[in-house]
Amino acid sequence: MAKPALKVRTFSRFNTVMNEGSERRVTVADFKGHVSKVFGAEMRKLGFKGSGFQFVRDSENFAFVVAIQGSMYRSSCCANFGIQPKFAELNRYKNIDFKKLKFYDCELKTRISPRGKGDYWWNYSADPDENVKIALEIVALLERQYMPIIDHFTNNPNLLLSIDPSDLEEGGALLDKLAGMSAVNTTSRLAWMFAVLNENTDLEKAKGFAAFGLSEAKVKTFFGNPDFERILAK
């Protein structure tokens, strides 16, 4: 007796998987088609350039990124905000192209959330008008929560030099000194950024960040360890 054929479920890059007999799921491409024109127009009003779900605002010392990220597995999206200091031209093992800067390249990054912090996902639908409301809510949150941070960073080019190694410790003053900008990066990654930043201007502070970073690094293969060791050897 022949064995029944196995039912194989496949996944496309745009979340088009459907259970047998169910309605077609709203995809990332559907959502983008509904909102990209409105979202892009609103982002350009705030000084950003880009298209689709990826926008960048440039300044002399920092680049600011906003990106909507669609889920691969459900009809939902989140919104990301990142800040990349211009001095940090290396991200892990590659040089950063600021003309093509992505959210994941940024040293400081977080979610845009109506809760003010933490992870948050919007559920979109087949209704274009409802999806436009989501895009406009994201823009409103950006304008209210993060435009003041963008202005603070832009108007204070030496802002990051005010950070001390103790600010990275639990309960430290990092959040206050960064005008409320939270960072999802690990403390070792943050320590690497500040160690490299201070290396040529305040070696003792750089060594403090390097020592802290080495103590926080969870794996020996962390890409910043050679920089930590090099700075401490000076």
pLDDT tens digits, residue range 59-117?
999 999 999 999 988 899 999 999 999 887 666 556 778 778 888 888 899 999 998 87
Residues 33 and 111 grouped into a single domain: yes
Q: Quote the pTM value.
A: 0.83
Summarize the confidence of residues 154-177 as an average pLDDT. Answer: 89
Buried b (16+ CB within 10 A) or exposed e, 160-180: beebbbebbeeeeebeeebee
Distance CA 138, CA 127 (A): 17
Q: Using the 3D structure, point to which of 103, 124, 157 is the last residue of a domain.
A: 157
Question: 169 and 149 share a domain?
Answer: no
What are 84's two structure tokens? 């990349």
Query: Do residue 41 and residue 95 come from a single domain?
Result: yes
Confidence check: pLDDT of 16 > 50: no
Cα 2 to Cα 214: distance, rounded to the nearest angstrom = 60
DSSP letters for 171-190: T-SHHHHTTT----S-HHHH
User: Based on the domain organization, do 171 and 146 belong to the same domain?
Assistant: no
Strand partners, 81: 66, 110
Q: What is the pLDDT of residue 116?
A: 82
Please report the pLDDT score of residue 9 as a whole number.
39
**What pLDDT sits at residue 20?**
39
Confidence of residue 146 (pLDDT cuts 50, 70, 90): very high
Query: Which pLDDT tens digit goes with each residue over 17-53?
Result: 333 334 568 899 999 999 999 999 999 999 999 999 9
CA 187 and chain centroid, separation: 16
Please count the structural domains in the chain. Answer: 2
* Residue 87 belongs to domain spanning: 23-157
Q: Are residues 140 and 174 in the same domain?
A: no
Structure tokens at 192: 């690497």
Residue 152 sits in the same domain as residue 175? no
150 and 192 in a single domain? The answer is: no
Distance between CA atoms of 159 and 16, rounded to whole angstroms? Answer: 45
